[in-house]
Structure 1
């Protein structure tokens, strides 16, 4: 009998008992006359080998309650706190721990498979405001593409990808760093607001910080190399071909000016200015001369039409630049003798 109970108990721990075998085991547990049985050596080992952290999950609690109820049916309330019950608890702790890990593993696998990637692409002249799963806000610029997971997992990296321009207002989370991958440039934050300019066809990417701290790294050879840690008012420009970068100060009010229809240009060539204006206003420039290539400007345009902007540029050039706007085809033809 004792030998059979030992085998039955081992089967119970392995989850191989039938309802009839389980009933037999519970009746043995409920009988105080078996307190000196050799069977308790097995139970003592099970008790001492259990994890130091008790499982308080719903599965464990319900399982332990079920065992107690079975025991209570076969003994009086005055004997409920027999040493046998600590071993009954050990049984459910072991089983529920195994079951808990099984359920956890399945949930984790389901979590991994349920995460999908979303993306949004804007056209020329289009801007969007997006809310990410962690409540971070992204203002996506014209002719840009953002890719992000359908949800972020607490404690893991919040990885997203950007091609183009975007201003980020990242929700603070010290356990889940927020990382933006833009070609060879990686931007890492915990919670801050910053602007990224990263059009693949351009020669220069940039990161400018409005609030908080931002770490910028280069990943051109498969190895991450930290470039700099930026604070508010700092702008890092990364030159793709030379793998070189420089840092300068930027007016904080201009870092996200474009989301408020204010476009600021600082010491930029006319060609680069036209490239940005093409994206913002959904037009196409045609330069008929090379004499304008060396012209550089500092300018800020606030809520102006493209025709007003062109007229201001003409005046800044000393009226040496000329232009013609074809509204029907959204083409602006530019020529002239140079700039002032």
Structure 2
């Protein structure tokens, strides 16, 4: 009997039943003793034939209202028809309930949706603190750009893009590795704090770790090559043109010193140092002597004005480097006969 009812139910949903068959089906469904889950399979087939999204538009709501209006207009002409309306109400409840259950079931399944991307670009002399969707914190340095998704998908990679310098405090999530893409370089972590220096024009890329572990890789020709696994106090310096790198130790307090206006330079060429100073202090520096390009410096400047920094560089060069500051145009001209 139940099997025949299920077949009849399928025909009803397909609009292939006659009035007599509908009466038999409605009488069966209206009986509380038959209120079990035997029709779930039939309803699942009906659900799969529905559109991917439920239509909650005004037109759809108005259309449904018109259907109910027509039902209400059918006043029973005899006592024989009155139970039929009761049965009709019963089957509407069953169908609506079952379809609603499958709609809920379908809603629980993950849906692939387009993810919007956000970005922040800082100007020279500017640094900002950002909080990402996963609660990770980023301190974005001057003249830098960070791009990240509006939300991260649990269990998937947390990919972001950096051009410039930033210090990261990554929220730990072992199921969702955090990857920073900087040109051909990739920095992968689970939860840690580290600094990345990746200005495209500088020709160098560096990663310094303050806490946790960081894996640095190089991407070339669609292939990813692992370079090194860094732990606290380690810094990797990659030379982009030569495609080689070296690793050395660094005081962990210096990893993100720039956040507090303390700038640390270790064996840095004068041209690269001047480019960094331009970003930090929002000035334009013109190097007029090729003889100074080979000069290299080790220096730390903490909360110093740009005029103080330039004077210290002049002294460190053995006073072979000269400079002039134009406060009106915020331009610094540098020249000299090399370094001592």
The bucket for the TM-score relative to the shorter chain is 0.7 to 0.9
> Whole-Å Cα distance in 2 between the matches of residues 288 and 309 of structure 1?
18
Asked if residue 99 in structure 1 is aligned to residue 103 in structure 2, the reply is yes
Give the structure 2 partner of residue 300 of structure 1. Answer: 300
Q: How much has 1:4 moved relative to structure 2?
A: 4.6
> Whole-Å Cα distance in 1 between the matches of residues 15 and 163 of structure 2?
53
> Whole-Å Cα distance in 1 between the matches of residues 15 and 108 of structure 2?
18
> Whole-Å Cα distance in 1 between the matches of residues 15 and 99 of structure 2?
8
> Whole-Å Cα distance in 2 between the matches of residues 241 and 274 of structure 1?
20
1:24 pairs with 27, 32, 38, which one? 27
Give the structure 2 partner of residue 330 of structure 1. Answer: 330
Q: Is the CA contact 1:8–1:25 (under 8 Å) kept in the aligned structure 2?
A: no
| Structure 2 unaligned blocks of 5 or more | 42-94
Deviations, residues 78-102 of structure 1 (Å, cap 9, x unaligned): xxxxxxxxxxxxx999977753453
Give the structure 2 partner of residue 72 of structure 1. Answer: none
Output the TM-score relative to the length of structure 1. 0.75
| Structure 1 unaligned blocks of 5 or more | 33-39, 47-90
Give the structure 1 partner of residue 179 of structure 2. Answer: 179
Q: Is the CA contact 1:13–1:94 (under 8 Å) kept in the aligned structure 2?
A: no
Q: Is the CA contact 2:218–2:224 (under 8 Å) kept in the aligned structure 1?
A: yes
- Counterpart of 2:220 in 1: which secondary structure? coil
Give the structure 2 partner of residue 84 of structure 1. Answer: none
Aligned in 2, Cα 1:246/1:229: closer, same or farther, shift over 3 Å?
Answer: same
Deviations, residues 69-126 of structure 1 (Å, cap 9, x unaligned): xxxxxxxxxxxxxxxxxxxxxx999977753453235x614xx23x311000001111
Q: Is the CA contact 2:5–2:25 (under 8 Å) kept in the aligned structure 1?
A: no
284-293 or 311-320: which moved more? 284-293
Give the structure 1 partner of residue 90 of structure 2. Answer: none
Q: Is the CA contact 1:13–1:95 (under 8 Å) kept in the aligned structure 2?
A: no
Q: Is the CA contact 2:28–2:34 (under 8 Å) kept in the aligned structure 1?
A: no
**How large is the Cα RMSD of the aligned pairs?**
3.3
- Counterpart of 2:201 in 1: which secondary structure? coil
Q: Is the CA contact 2:268–2:296 (under 8 Å) kept in the aligned structure 1?
A: yes
> Whole-Å Cα distance in 1 between the matches of residues 285 and 215 of structure 2?
36
Output the TM-score relative to the length of structure 2. 0.75
Give the structure 2 partner of residue 282 of structure 1. Answer: 282
> Whole-Å Cα distance in 2 between the matches of residues 16 and 212 of structure 1?
67
Q: Is the CA contact 2:138–2:166 (under 8 Å) kept in the aligned structure 1?
A: yes
Q: Is the CA contact 1:274–1:285 (under 8 Å) kept in the aligned structure 2?
A: yes
Q: Is the CA contact 2:262–2:303 (under 8 Å) kept in the aligned structure 1?
A: yes
